[in-house]
Homo-oligomer: A and B are copies of this chain.
Amino acid sequence: MLKLIPGVNQLISLAIAEDLYQGDITTASLPQLRRDCLAKIILEEEGIIAGLELVEIVFRQLNVEVRLQFNTRDGCYENPGKDLLEIVGPAFAVLAAERIILNFIGRMSGIATASARLVSRLEGTKCRLLDTRKTTPGWRYLDKYSTHLGGVVNHRFGLDDGVLIKDNHLLLSSGIGEVIRLVRKHTGPLTKIAIEVENESQVKEALRNNADHLLLDNMTADQIRTMVAIVDGKAQTEASGGITPENLKEYASTGVDYLSLGLLTTEVRFLKMKMEIQV
């Protein structure tokens, strides 16, 4: 349902503008390219596919009609050589769109694939992986859509759809109790209150004030274990900071409900794929 999202449509419009603001001077020179061609998007390494739906919007924004045949769906795991998608349309438009399409699907599939690898390390635990707001500007929705396809649980999408009281909020205000009270008064019935806590005394004060979700920040796995015991189910718990692919399993074993991991979206590698043209 990517096509419903206003920001995604705008990002595609930026992607088109940056690549062909004054057109494609190579293909514009070649009259043969007005004919139709058949293009295939071929996967070059294994992974989870993400972003196929965007292809339709790219061509719609280019004002060009093409026929698309999808041979897989977002979220599916595919092997190298897989022909993900076939496009039949005017060659000049297909070539103009080639890099835009590959950059979208390649990047999104790369995020989904890497996310899935990390999620698989938590198998057998009840702990779930969360993403963060450390995303590439303009890409918040697509980054989180991709981690979600990899099995990650999406944390809040923006500052407008979830409350998280952080150290800086506390620093500028007057104590955990007062801040929670103000936020609760200001926000609606569907809003949970999450708060970043750094030590036992903050955990206890947050619980006293009925925080819904505790973000246990920058603690060792042992510290997390202790805090989880203190919380004792009275709030959801999330560990963040200092968590790596290597110690993920250890943190997950502490009984904490969620681990949040910035690198899901701050360390990105495109999945390799290419476009092949057939005459």
Contact = CB atoms under 8 A, between A and B. Distances in A.
A18 B141 contact: yes
Interface string A56-75: 11001011100000000000
A234 interface: no
A99 B130 contact: no
A120 interface: no
A117 interface: no
A196 to B, nearest CB: 11
B187 A134 contact: no
Nearest to A29: B186
A22 B143 CA distance: 12
Contacts of A140: 15, 18-19, 22
Each complex incorporates copies of this chain amounting to: 6
Interface string A1-40: 1011111011111111111111111111111110101000
Interface of A: 1, 3-7, 9-33, 35, 37, 56-57, 60, 62-64, 91-93, 95-96, 98-100, 102-104, 106-107, 110, 130, 133-141, 153-165, 168-169, 171-174, 179, 182-183, 185-192, 194, 212-213, 236, 238, 257-258, 262, 266-270, 275, 277, 279
Given A6-B16, A25-B186, 14 more contacts: A1-B28, A1-B93, A5-B20, A18-B138, A19-B160, A20-B158, A22-B141, A22-B160, A26-B183, A37-B172, A155-B188, A171-B279, A190-B213, A268-B268
